[in-house]
Structure 1
Amino acid sequence: MCILFIAIKQHPLYPLIIAANRDEFTQRPTQTAHFWPTQSNMLAGKDLLAGGTWMGINTRGDVAALTNIRVPVPEKNNAVSRGELVTKFLSSNKQESYLDTLKQTHANYNGYNLLFGNLTNLHVYNSLDNSAYSLKEGVYGLSNASLDSPWPKLGMGKSALAQYCQHAKDLSFEHLFELLSNRAVAKDEELPNTGVSVEIEKMLSSIFICTPQYGTRSSTVLLIDNQQQVYWEERTFSASGECTNTSVHKFGIES
């Protein structure tokens, strides 16, 4: 998962809105969002190479999503797969102590951000800083650096989500997927420096990335309404950016 836009108590009907893109190599095998047979209360896609996931929710209303952190240093070859961080949180009965677990084990993984919690208690943990931020009411953006880093695509997405929350009496999945489909790239002078070439930085600077080898593999919209109903829609894309599958789920959070 490479970009997340989060709105907390910004819309009158939906106190939690998450719109997210997962960017990955085209050839990496992936299973679309489903309730896992081995963890029947967890809805998530599955990385068939390492066995983890990038985003999910369980029927208790616990949610988690992962982004990698790009830094200009080589990644560790012996690192544990970051995808297990999401599944461990969603399958745990000790959510209140999960932050302690993250802080104790962060050196086992390459750099990551983890969004985790529930409707009333969401956090973002940054493994490079070994720090956590509690999300209050507002609109947030999270990509491959710190929370709300001044990257152009984060600013565009946050602004679009905030404006829609303020002016929409209802909420359309199509508007949120339109936000996630934005392919506008940043100007050269606005590009961050994460240790890759200018050409790659530019390619990665759009919300929706589309190249033959690497790009946005799926977009996910997650809504939780005032009646504790969960609405989930995931759209999967080909290397050319065409939608190839849609997965829709709706359920009530268990009391």
Structure 2
Amino acid sequence: MCIALVSTSHPDYALIVLDNRDEYVLRPTSRPKWWTHQDSGNQVLSSRDLQRRERGTWMGVTKSGRLAVLTNFRETIDDTVHPVHGIRSRGGMVTAWLGAPNDESLDQFVAKMLEGGLVKGVGGFSLICGDLKPKRSKEELNGNWVQDREVEPLVIISNRSEAVDGVPRIGGKRGGVWGLSNTVYEEPATWPKVKLGRQLLKEAIEKAVASEASEDELSELLFSVLDHDTLPPIARRAKMDFDERLDSLKQSIFIPAITDEDKDRDMLYAMEQGKMKAAFNEIEDEDHELLEASRHDDGTLFDKGAYGTQRQTMILVDWDGNVTYKERALFDDHGNPVEHGKGDVAFKYTIDGWN
């Protein structure tokens, strides 16, 4: 039950993006790094899912300022029209935008994905994507473009979208907060965790502005939003039936590791079957030989065991096009909890062509 939150309400930042990745904690996942998209040559910063051959991602940015964030749908097991697992990886939808030709506009990409049927064969998803760049007025002042205090809007596409002209656009106006979880994008939001996330993000930014918080202080306020846990106590969760448990995940922004005796055994079995540390770190082999050595034949080895918020990511973009990208890992390679802050990786860069 992932969640993505977007805001334009901090005066010092053109855009703020937050994301919780809820996943099986043993699912092989690299740490973020710069890598080159083979077809386009675009420089991409992201973590990567190492279980699927596509080595896609759920969130990433490029040196030129492209952004993409993905959430999946809470599918039902008997939904034959929209299967839980598609033939193609959802993570490939993120890299489809991050790796698109630089001369391809966002509108062209949306049309290609929806009208060209490129979202077919993928498990249900929503994709927030767009270009991180400021809007510019059509007037010139002393030969220079006048930069408005707004950024170009982002779009949300999915394989539930029926028409290009119906695709939602967010993030283009100042003072806004938007949210998306494992359902279609709605305005106003109906999922409890999305409504709560928007409220908490708004309050965190207001607190940061009022206290003139530094970027590090702002970062901790933002991570506290992603840490907000409203799940019932473990003892009560144990008495819930399946539907009740699923419904409870719609309530909480943060999902603590959910496990039991069977899931603990699954985790031990996964490790015994060859989960290697190499699968969680940088993989230089383009043929994925190391990755394949860590996979189970049926591809489901790591879809077992404890489930919860595995990674947390924060992106800040200021008015000079400076990006701060910080990812917080909550578990180590073997599924052990990592103390908050000890698993942080941060990158800073300036978007090419911002000015």
TM-score (ref. length: structure 2): 0.65
Q: CA deviation at 1:162?
A: 1.3
Cα distance in 2 between the residues matched to 1:112 and 1:76: 10
User: Does the CA-based 8 Å contact 2:228-2:253 persist in structure 1?
Assistant: yes
Q: CA RMSD in A?
A: 2.2
State the partner residue of 2:72.
Answer: 68
Q: Secondary structure at the match of 1:146?
A: coil
Determine if the alignment matches structure 1 residue 232 to structure 2 residue 232.
no
Larger Rg: 2
* Residue 145 (structure 1) aligned to one of 183, 186, 194: 183
Which residues in structure 2 correspond to 1:133-172 (within 5 Å)?
Answer: 133-135=168-170, 136-137=172-173, 138-148=176-186, 149-167=189-207, 168=209, 169-170=212-213, 171=215, 172=218
* Residue 245 (structure 2) aligned to one of 186, 191, 199: 199
- Quick one: structure 1 residues 147 and 77, their matched pair in 2 at CA, closer, same or farther if it must change by over 3 Å? closer
State the partner residue of 1:46.
Answer: 48
Which residues in structure 2 correspond to 1:9-20 (within 5 Å)?
Answer: 10-20=9-19
Determine if the alignment matches structure 1 residue 116 to structure 2 residue 129.
yes
User: Does the CA-based 8 Å contact 2:42-2:63 persist in structure 1?
Assistant: no
Cα distance in 2 between the residues matched to 1:200 and 1:81: 23
State the partner residue of 1:132.
Answer: 167
Q: Secondary structure at the match of 1:31?
A: coil
Please list the CA deviations of residues 77-131 of structure 1 after superposition, one character each: whole Å capped at 9, or x if unmatched: 5521010111121111224311012212222211110000023131111322335
Which residues in structure 2 correspond to 1:177-216 (within 5 Å)?
Answer: 177-185=223-231, 197-203=243-249, 205-211=251-257, 212=259, 213-216=306-309
Determine if the alignment matches structure 1 residue 90 to structure 2 residue 98.
yes
Q: Secondary structure at the match of 2:88?
A: coil
Cα distance in 1 between the residues matched to 2:16 and 2:343: 22
Amino acid in the other structure paired with 2:110: L
Please list the CA deviations of residues 143-201 of structure 1 after superposition, one character each: whole Å capped at 9, or x if unmatched: 00122431111111101111233342345100000000111138xxxxxxxxx521233
- Quick one: structure 1 residues 173 and 100, their matched pair in 2 at CA, closer, same or farther if it must change by over 3 Å? same
- Quick one: structure 1 residues 26 and 76, their matched pair in 2 at CA, closer, same or farther if it must change by over 3 Å? closer
Cα distance in 1 between the residues matched to 2:120 and 2:203: 39
State the partner residue of 2:347.
Answer: 249
Determine if the alignment matches structure 1 residue 79 to structure 2 residue 87.
yes
Cα distance in 2 between the residues matched to 1:251 and 1:234: 15
Cα distance in 1 between the residues matched to 2:22 and 2:67: 19
User: Does the CA-based 8 Å contact 1:17-1:223 persist in structure 2?
Assistant: yes
User: Does the CA-based 8 Å contact 2:204-2:225 persist in structure 1?
Assistant: no
- Quick one: structure 1 residues 197 and 241, their matched pair in 2 at CA, closer, same or farther if it must change by over 3 Å? farther
User: Does the CA-based 8 Å contact 1:210-1:240 persist in structure 2?
Assistant: no
Cα distance in 1 between the residues matched to 2:321 and 2:56: 26
Q: CA deviation at 1:37?
A: 4.8
Amino acid in the other structure paired with 1:146: V
Amino acid in the other structure paired with 1:176: L
Q: Secondary structure at the match of 2:202?
A: helix
Unpaired segments ≥5 residues, structure 1: 187-195
Unpaired segments ≥5 residues, structure 2: 133-151, 233-241, 260-305
TM-score (ref. length: structure 1): 0.88
